[in-house]
Amino acid sequence: MIEVDLAILGAGPAGLAAAGEAVAHGLRVAVVDDNPRAGGQYFRQPPAQFRRDGGSWFDKEATRVAELLRVLDHPSITYLPDTVVWDVPAPDTLAVAGGERSGRVRGRALLIAAGAHDRPVPFPGWTLPGVISAGGAQNLLKGNRIVPGRRIVVAGNGPLLFVVAASLVRAGAEVAAVVEAAPINRRLLHAWPSMLAAPKILRQALDYRLSLLRAGVPVRTGMTVVAARGADAVQDAAIAPIALDGSVDRAVSETIACDALVVGFGLTPSVELLRLIGCELGYNRGRGGWLAVRSDRMETSVANVFAAGDGAAIGGVEIALLEGRLVGLEVAARLGRAGNAEQRRAALRDQLDRTDKFRRAIEAIFAGPSHYLGLLTADTVVCRCEEVTHGELQARQAEALDSMIQLKSTTRAGMGRCQGRNCMATLASIVSEASGTPIAGLNYPRTRPPVRPIAIGDLLHEPIPPPDLPADPHLPRRQNAS
Amino acid sequence: MSSLPTDTDVLVIGAGIAGLCTALYLARAGRTVAVIDRGEPWGDASGANAGTLSVQIKRPEVLNITRRAVELWQGFKAEFGIDVGFGRPGGLRVATNEREIDMLRRSQVEQRELGLDTEWLDGNRLRDLAPWLGPTVTAATLCDWDAYSSPLQAGHAIIQGARHAGVAILGAAAATAIAEVSPGYRVTTGAGTITARVLVIAAGAWSGEAARMLGIDLPVSADVNMLSVTEPTAPLLDRVVTHIGGILSLKQYPNGTCLIGGGWQGRGGLSTGVKEIGYENLLHNLRVAANVVPALARLRLVRSWAGFEGVVPDALPLFGPLPGRAGVYVNACARGGYSQGPALGHLMAELITSGRTSLPMERFAPKRFAA
């Protein structure tokens, strides 16, 4: 058992910033991350063996990254890379496993900074080779310097589309079109003033937009991909208008030839650990869906369990860094190590408020359709792991087996390797539309450990005391509980 | 979902395997039947258990019930037109040390006297038959009755089968009060009020709560059993595996996933409704499984969960009239009730319609706990 003051899940911007702040105040900190290298998604680093020539646009954040990563060398830090947090057996304990090591990390406070994943939106052909998620495309670019195709369509909803499209252009790909579901053009004017609140991020955003303009990339707004087609891999994408109520007009669809289709309908916080701990969650579509309910100190509804960054609510890298620092400061203050925390807290809060103003403007511009169920046909696969189609779900609904739990248990949707990450949101949307119950009011299947699939053998390295075996296995066993 | 009828011949409390099978056979015998559940139909133990239909791990008292149930299970797919995921590959009940071998021998002799023949396996014969067993397993008995079904598929099939037979099934309809009327009972539920001539309490772990509404105490407690499932993999083991110590159940389903159980206890209890994984007990469970079948160690665990299992102090079924309340029956807490469920439902329908059962069931009457 590793015992520290602050145990952090996630070595991304929020986790690293929290660790930096905490060690600066003399706390002992553990940082657990399942990646081989720290940085999270935004600061994703290529493998150490890669030779880099420097000076490319990839390295524009090099200084910030170096500064952020330096904390991992601090003597008060226990850094566990390549390590999965698979369970939270108590609200102060992370169960960890990686390689030849498994066991528990206990903290006087926990920070869950688990990051986000792409919100999955199924449509005909989304399982074809060559169709990849926006987050996946960014990972390939940042982590492996790989461009996923020669002629690429980037489609979906949200600012990440433009970031990915610009990165692809800069990396040398032809972006055939950016297809954005929200009618962003007519909202831009209205949102300008608030965006001036964060001039640095605004400049970056303009920079992305400029790259696309220079490359002559057409940006189609109020449109969505409705199908990916191809024999063994994607050969073209069909796009059609989509209204904010989710209705799709397939009659006026058009086709764009491509050899890769990058799809991103926004990010959704990875709240599985928070669910497992029992933290209260709220539903806010604009910030990614289910998110952590937090105090202004970033504390969840469970005492001394904090959540920060995109894993708590989608806000982007700058907000993640500020929230992380606030958590580090707060935990230090609670342990009586922060001295006068008030001034620093006020400064961080002030920056956070200004950045949040920018974020809200972006959120308003990109507010998308209420659902994408109009993209589903009867044979569209909704659950990829168990290959459950929309038609099968409709058949169960017709049999009055129509709750999320009944749909899951009668079709196996959500029971495969991805543990529902790729289909639960769609299932919720389907049930919500059919029943009229808002998503926030739906009864979700419970989240269970392991939070990530993990080899059984990897869990068995921790020495634990021998069990009490039942004398008569038939008799009630509850007394043997631990 | 349908709404609650106002009147019925029989009202069953609990839409798990015991309640739905009772309702199914009563409806087929011509009764009007409604089934209510506090949560989702099939939402608790019936949907959360290991799906093991093993005869040789059962207590001697229920061997015949379980065998009859396996026969019924075997016919369900044809009966309902929906697959219940049934397979009958036979089962190995393993022993890993001298003490366990001794226990296994005694159990085999006892079962033989009751008409259940199992085959003793050790040495090369055991290795030939089950090369996937680990070196710690030194003996096993093979029982060709041992089977499995898929609790999820079975839920779908049995709910639809009961509905087709005319049973009204309603979830989110917890019984909150029961009043005696003439003739019968009026039950207040979360979804309305219903009058019934006959009541069947088939609420598993919650059966004590239901009986208490009638002023009767039943000593029902709840185990919090844990289960784990792996990712799908190529064929790895071709038998239902159980352990003489009662600490492992294991099978591989046709979809390639391996289901690991064994009655290891999680955290929580009925009073709080909490049923969570117990960290150390889960590791014990996985370690036992990986000792018995070492290839499991390289498989990825996808999900572990816990479910309540209602049990009474002698761990035998609660089956029969509720003492002191005419027209109220109990069919619950059978210990491994999922495997026995179809037979217990059939027997309960016999009891209600004819006053007799085709297997001797008197010893399971709830009156044994009447103080």
Pure H helices in chain B: 17-28, 45-48, 63-80, 98-113, 123-129, 151-164, 207-212, 279-292, 337-354
Question: Which residue in this structure is represented by tokens 């992380």?
Answer: A324
What is d(CA A455, CA A286) in angstroms, rounded to the nearest whole number?
36
ipTM for the assembly = 0.95
* DSSP code, position A311: G
Q: Give me the amino acid identity at A269.
A: P
| Residue B368 contacts A where some CB pair is shorter than 8 Å | no
Match 């001036």 to its residue by tokens. A196
CB within 8 A of A70, min separation 6: which ones? none
Reported as a pLDDT band with limits 50, 70 and 90, residue A478 is confident
Return residues 394-433 of A near B (CB < 8 Å): 396, 399-403, 405-406, 409-410, 412, 415-417, 419
pLDDT above 70 coverage of chain A, percent: 98
In 3D space, the residue among B130, B126, B160, B325 whose CA is nearest the CA of residue B239 turns out to be B130
C-alpha B34/C-alpha B151 separation (Å) is: 22
A469 has a chain B CB within 8 A of its CB: yes
Q: Do B279 and A95 touch (CB under 8 A)?
A: yes
Q: What does the pLDDT look like over A134-174, one tens digit per residue? A: 999 999 998 888 999 999 999 999 999 999 999 999 999 99
Cβ contacts of B12 within 8 Å, gap of 6 or more? B19, B20, B22, B23, B33, B34, B35, B36, B199, B200, B202
Domains of chain A listed by start with CATH number = 2-117+268-339 (3.50.50.60), 120-265 (3.50.50.60), 376-441 (1.10.10.1100)
Which tokens go with B307? 């479910």
A215 CB-near residues (< 8 Å, 6+ apart):
A169, A175
* Enclosing H/E stretch for A22: helix A13-24
Contact B303 A419 (CB under 8 A): yes
Residue B35 pLDDT more than 90? Answer: yes
The shortest CB-CB distance from B315 to any of A87, A417, A476 is to: A476
SS3 of A428-451: HHHHHHHHCCCHHHCCCCCCCCCC
Q: Are A449 and A86 in contact (CB under 8 A)?
A: yes
Min Cα distance A378 → chain B (Å) is 21
Q: Is residue A189 less than 8 Å (CB to CB) from chain B?
A: no
**Residues A281-318: tens digit of each pLDDT:** 999 999 999 999 999 999 999 999 999 999 999 999 99
What percentage of chain B has pLDDT greater than the value 90?
98
To the nearest 10°, the Cα dihedral for A120, A154, A261, A284?
Answer: 0
pLDDT digits (tens, 9 = 90+) for B285-323: 999 999 999 999 999 999 999 999 999 999 999 999 999
Confidence of residue A197 (pLDDT cuts 50, 70, 90): confident
Least confident interval from A193-202, A211-220, B119-128, B262-271: A193-202
Angstroms from A115 CA to nearest CA on chain B: 21
Shortest Cα distance, chain A CAs vs residue B338, angstroms? 15
* Across B3-17, average pLDDT: 96
| Residue B296: both structure tokens together | 């499991």
Contact across the interface for A482 and B303, Cβ inside 8 Å: no
pLDDT at B175 over 80: yes
Contact A460 B231 (CB under 8 A): no
A445 → chain B, closest CA residue: B43
Q: How far apart are CA A289 and CA A117, in angstroms?
A: 11
Tens of pLDDT along A380-429? 999 999 999 999 999 999 998 899 999 999 999 999 999 999 999 999 99
Alpha carbon of B1: minimum distance to chain A alpha carbons (Å):
6
Q: How far is B285 from chain A (nearest CA, A)?
A: 10
pLDDT of residue A480: 40
Structure tokens at B13: 């409390």
Is residue A53 within 8 angstroms of chain B, CB to CB? Answer: no
Tokens representing A422 are 């790729």
Report yes or no: A358 and A325 within 8 Å, Cβ to Cβ.
Answer: no
* Backbone torsions φ then ψ of B103, nearest 5 degrees: -60, -40
Q: Quick check: B281 and A467 CB within 8 A?
A: yes
Mean pLDDT is lowest, of A461-475, B157-171, B328-342, for: A461-475
Confidence bin at A482 (pLDDT 50/70/90): very low
The 8-class DSSP code of residue A299 comes to: B
Chain A residues lying within 8 Å of B284, measured CB to CB: 464, 467
pLDDT, residue A51, reads 75
> Beta-carbon neighbour count of residue B123 at 10 Å?
9
How many residues belong to chain B?
Answer: 371
Nearest to B335 by CA among B354, B353, B309, B358: B309
| C-alpha Rg value of chain B to the nearest Å | 20
Residue numbers of B between 120 and 159 with CB closer than 8 Å to A: 152-153, 155-156, 159
Does the pLDDT value for residue B246 go beyond 80? yes
Mean per-residue pLDDT for B198-203? 98
Q: Which residues of A279-297 are buried (b: 16+ CB within 10 A; e: fewer)?
A: bebeebbbbbbbbbbbeee
Residue B297 has its nearest CB partner, among A450, A453, A457, at: A457
